[in-house]
Structure 1
């Protein structure tokens, strides 16, 4: 009897080890972003990035002015001794030709934004390489459909108790977006 329990527990242990190695569970779905994000992280670490997040959210970090014309390549970390402590790195960016002049003038802003994203002073310099960028333009959502008369009346009826005009307008826009998409 004890031998059967031992073989059962070893089978369970083997399944758990396989799950830990592959990242997949036998039953249930795993979101694709979790699988891809964990797969890309070792590759990003070779390029000096702590994770793939800076690549995924680059457009949000630098803003629309530089999202399409720049692309981070790596973060070069300086060698450090135990006595010196932490030293910020250098962010290496690809930038398309004419935009590099504007990027040079906005370096301080981009450094602040990247450091704010990381939550600590991760970089202190930017190295700009003039190369073509493979950045893709973000897909804009389709415009919202107009509300029917009954939907518009129901929305106005729900908002009528709000006294602040700005709040009422914000609730009206939110309600329009929710009703138009459903």
Structure 2
């Protein structure tokens, strides 16, 4: 019995982050109704302005059973205050997505319950408070600020910087 020669693909080359994570995201995207990452990766190119900046695709909802010729329902997360415009322009957005793909993918557009806030991240709920002596030092350094809102913002910034410094030391 002859041994098969196996060829291995070189792994010691630089690859882009999208290539490295492509396979890892597929199961998550399939749960959200997306067959691939195309609609998320190319949203800015396919969505009409200004919806390319104020909304992002959340999920695709397919009708029960077989995928129908009418297409799926595209749920969009939008910036608060723009929901009415997206609701009225849903047919235009669906047409733009379908034109990009070349077939009827989206039949209708609806708003997702969760909003889209550009540049937002999920805050870490396990943030420990700084030590009392650090809090006192920060409080003393911002005590001279007259505006209460600015003073609180500076205090929060000081606490965040103290946390970053503590994490770096640990």
Q: Which runs of 5+ in 1 are unaligned?
A: 20-24, 137-182
State the distance in 2 between where 1:85 and 1:91 align: 14
Match of 1:178 in 2: none
State the distance in 2 between where 1:77 and 1:85 align: 8
Match of 1:129 in 2: 112
Match of 2:16 in 1: 31
State the distance in 1 between where 2:80 and 2:97 align: 22
Q: Tell whether the 8 Å contact from 1:80 to 1:87 is kept in structure 2 after alignment.
A: no
Match of 2:82 in 1: 99
- 1:15-164 aligned within 5 A: 16=8, 25-80=10-65, 86-136=69-119
Match of 2:155 in 1: none
Cα-to-partner distance string for 1:43-68 (whole Å, 9 max, x where unaligned): 21111011112112212221341123
SS in 1 for 2:95: helix
State the distance in 2 between where 1:31 and 1:120 align: 30
Q: In angstroms, what is the RMSD of aligned CA positions?
A: 2.8
State the distance in 1 between where 2:68 and 2:53 align: 36
Residue 96 of structure 1 deviates from its aligned partner by 2.6
Dislocated runs of 4+, deviation >6 Å: none
State the distance in 2 between where 1:91 and 1:103 align: 12
SS in 1 for 2:51: helix
State the distance in 1 between where 2:12 and 2:18 align: 18
Give the TM-score normalised by the residue count of structure 2.
0.58
SS in 2 for 1:110: helix
Give the TM-score normalised by the residue count of structure 1.
0.55
Higher CA-based Rg? 1
Query: Which structure shows the bigger proportion of residues in helix conformation?
Result: 1
